Chains A and B, each alone.
Chain A
Amino acid sequence: MPDQDISLIAHLMRRAGFSAPLEELQARAAKGYDATVDELLDPESQPPMERDIMMRYKADWLAQAGLEGQQEEWTFRMINSKRPLQEKIALFWHCVLVTGHAKCEYPKQQSMELDMFRTVGMGSFHELLKGLSKDPAMVFYLDNCMSHAGAINENWGRELLELFSLGVGMDGEFNYSEDDVKAAARAFTGWTVTNSIPRYPYGKYEAKFMYDPRDHDNDDKTFLGETGNFNGEDIVDIIVRQPATARFVARHLYNFFVADEPQVPAWKDSPPIDASAIKELEDEYFRSNYNITAMLRVLFKSDWFKAATFAKIKSPAETVVGTLKLVGDFKFPRPGLDMMTMNIRFMGQDLLNPPTVEGWHTGREWIDSGTLVERINFTADQVGNLNHSGVKNIINRVGSIGPVLTADQLIDACLENLGSYQLHQETRNQLVEMASGEGEIRSDAEGFPLQVATMLQSIVATTEYLFA
């Protein structure tokens, strides 16, 4: 029988982090589930990344001047951070509050945005939206710097409502009108950025947010039924009070941390799959003054979270980072991480460069016959590599069961080491047949490491392993 404490911690770490090898799960289980949740929710209690080590070996990470370098650095952080939820929440907000490299004047700007997600992203959603409205990467990405009094550019005003806060609609009703979009855009006129010049001789500077009162539309605006000479802050103040915003944040948290929901464009007409869970999160949103950590505490300690094992398809970032953590590679910024990081892109998630401002579609839409091939090939290559310390550890642990293993023992031990995975009976039968076909399974045999590795490869190629 799988150890219940270990499998629950494995579930928590897949969601609140990027999975963990068995020895870490055992250590966390010894501290207890609630204590682990509290620790994850208090990232400051754990040491930060050792920047001096990173910069010493990867000086280019300091410059943050190109997409691949940024992706590589972020992947390194996701693998090695002692504050896994901080990196997970950065990924969460990056998937919701989207900017893209394809339209970023100075790439470092997106890294600065991620730093905001790491800190403010676990605090008040109110503060986060205010920060986002002034984030130079966003101001440029959605053209608010091109929106002027008397000549608005609606891009930011529209996406703020549609994709970053209210959502198109809920319970079958629209949450805002085209007039609200225009009013929001007018309220944000004058919210712009400084030029990131001079470019030479020192390279680019970061752009800074700048409010230009001369370019602000000072006429009255009517927004979501309220009228006044609104500025951008007023729009955000009105937005965060809306029940639709509570619903939107709750549903996104649920979709990312608990179970796959229908895709965002369907939310107007498709009810949540667990209405009472969403209600609990909405209530906490208002009770806690829009506090994300408070909502996550409710979420991770709820029975519905604990019951939602394997209810989500892993994202490419979760797949690649989780696999590299499992096999124990890249604990140090050695060369080769750049190519490894590209696998996240090949599986359909080009970090910092989502396909549209809507971000990525999730759930089963991660999987098509192209991305499935990428995912299986990558994961099987890693767990089949006998040189990886993590794979050696797994082989040793599996071998420690005894001199002779049954096929079931081999499979169960591999499943536990991969994170307490469970297989459907039909899948299990196939693997039992494969393992039994090799004769007696002896842990002292020369071919034992390869036998374990082949079993790991076969398990990570199953449909079950696509889930988290």
Chain B
Amino acid sequence: MTSTKKDPVLVVLQLAGGNDGLNTVVPYGNPKYFDQRPNVFVPQDQVLPINDEIGFNPNMGPVKRLYDEGHVAVIQGVGYPTGSRSHFRSMDIWHTCEPQKVGDEGWLGRVIRDLDPTQENVLTAVNFGRGLPRALVAPGVPVASVGNLETYGVLTGIDDTDQRLKALDVFSKVYSPMIGQGPVMDYLAHTGLDALKGADILSAAPEMYSSTVEYGGDTVSQYMRNIAQTHLAGFGTRVLYTTAPFNSFDTHAGQMANHTKLWRETSRAIGDFYDDLKEHNAGENVMLLVFTEFGRRVHDNGSGTDHGAGGHCFIIGDQVKGGLYGEYPSLDDNKLDEGDLQFNTDFRSVYSTILEKWMGLDAKPIVNGEFEQLAFV
């Protein structure tokens, strides 16, 4: 485990929809890339080179800057055996670490349980966005889920303070867990109490925050800003999570325009987030994981790319040993798996490394098995 004075914090940014790995970390030195991508390709002269073979998408300037500073680990060719090309199934697998059966417990849910087994802090984990990703779900594990940090609170519409306190008192009593009501009622009762407690604490975060960093206006930027605000408020939050909205990375068609916009916004959000923490001298105990459920088909379909396999993920932070990990998947025809890149690094290796070397947890029961430790921490 890396020794830091403060408890290690994990931030997760999920790129929902299946980010096209080939046009993110571009194999611009490989002619096969241009053969396979007659329509949906990044021109060689626009790539931000990492080396003679590969480079970042031209819209990823801020990520490239952090890479050059040694803060970005690029894990190439991440996946899992017999990859599913269904968004939901593949995302479920990334969330639950259960490629064989349908899992209902998220890996981060288990992490939160390990970090805070007696549920002392309802803000051990905070999700930004509406609806909790399965990664954060585990029985009895509270996670605050915040749509808008600025207006978060329970029964806020009751203006009269006495009346509101009375109503909140009844609320807290009727949401007290009742014995023998079954898992759904238990879940609802816990959720109600957690909401009440978490709202009181979280409502202080925006007031405590000031920064010279100006984030973009897109959803990912706003949520990355909320994550920074929550981290800087010092509530003891260890896991912070957000998702790019509406499967936006699902670029079956019109990819060149869409993917450009997506990475311009996402890359800026990542850079702003890093700078914001830096400005507050609060980044050294934060690690950011950026992942997607799968890469996309090697050969383009004319204007976009279909569901594939073998994408990349990024780990970003002051304590990250930047560089390239894993191997860039081969584009040779005989190395493709039904037209898809072959993965070479199991995503559970990435998780295991973060868990063991960063969070200081026993990874095996969280990721359901033993996987190779990588060197990015």
Contact = CB atoms under 8 A, between A and B. Distances in A.
Interface of A: 100, 102-103, 143, 146-148, 151, 153-155, 158, 162, 168, 178, 260, 265-266, 268-270, 313, 345-348, 353, 355-358, 361, 363-365, 367-374, 376-377, 380-381, 384, 424, 426-427, 430-431, 434, 454, 457-458, 461-463, 466
B163 interface: yes
B34 interface: no
A380 B170 CA distance: 13
B132 A368 contact: yes
A370 B252 contact: no
A424 B181 contact: yes
Contact of B102 (A265, A347, A363): A265
A325 to B, nearest CB: 19
A377 B306 contact: no
Interface residues of B, number: 63
Given A153-B306, A368-B191, A373-B153, A461 B163 contact: no
Contact of A154 (B104, B147, B192, B306): B306
Contact of A374 (B147, B250, B302): B147
B194 interface: yes
B178 interface: yes
Interface string B202-226: 0000000000000000000000000
B191 A369 contact: yes
A457 B166 CA distance: 11
B189 to A, nearest CB: 6
Contact of A356 (B88, B188, B194, B301): B88
A146 B145 contact: no
Interface pairs A-B: 9 shortest CB-CB: A370-B145, A369-B195, A381-B157, A102-B246, A368-B145, A143-B252, A368-B132, A463-B188, A348-B130
A290 B333 CA distance: 45
Given A102-B247, A355-B131, A463 B102 contact: no
From B86, B130, B158, B174, residue with most partner A Cβ within 10 Å: B174
A380 B155 contact: yes
A146 B253 contact: yes
Interface string B125-155: 0010011100000000011111100001111
A355 B188 contact: no
B173 interface: yes
27 contacts: A100-B246, A153-B306, A155-B307, A162-B86, A265-B88, A265-B102, A266-B102, A266-B104, A355-B131, A356-B16, A356-B88, A368-B191, A369-B142, A369-B195, A371-B131, A371-B145, A371-B147, A373-B199, A376-B154, A377-B155, A380-B158, A384-B157, A427-B174, A458-B167, A461-B167, A463-B185, A466-B188
Contacts of B131: 348, 355, 361, 365, 368, 370-371
Given A146-B253, A461-B174, A370 B127 contact: yes
A270 B102 CA distance: 10
B257 interface: no
Contacts of A424: 178, 181
B188 A146 contact: no
A301 B192 CA distance: 35
B156 interface: yes
B272 to A, nearest CB: 23
A146 B178 CA distance: 54
The secondary-structure label for the interface of chain B is: loop
Given A143-B252, A162-B86, 13 more contacts: A148-B302, A260-B184, A265-B88, A265-B89, A367-B191, A370-B195, A372-B188, A373-B153, A377-B156, A431-B174, A454-B166, A457-B155, A461-B155
Nearest to A154: B306
Nearest to A424: B178
B137 to A, nearest CB: 9
A221 B238 CA distance: 53
Contact of A151 (B154, B245, B302): B302
B85 A364 contact: no
B154 A373 contact: yes
B297 to A, nearest CB: 9
Contacts of A431: 170, 174
B171 interface: yes
B252 A369 contact: no
A365 B195 CA distance: 15
Contacts of B181: 424
Contact of B147 (A102, A143, A168, A370): A370
Nearest to A347: B130
A146 B301 contact: yes
Contact of B191 (A148, A168, A265, A372): A372
B325 interface: no
Contacts of B307: 154-155
A430 B369 CA distance: 47
A147 B127 CA distance: 37
Contacts of B194: 369
A353 B245 CA distance: 11
A146 B246 contact: no
A224 B9 CA distance: 49
Given A380-B155, A454-B163, A463 B192 contact: yes
Contacts of A454: 163, 166-167
A358 B88 contact: yes
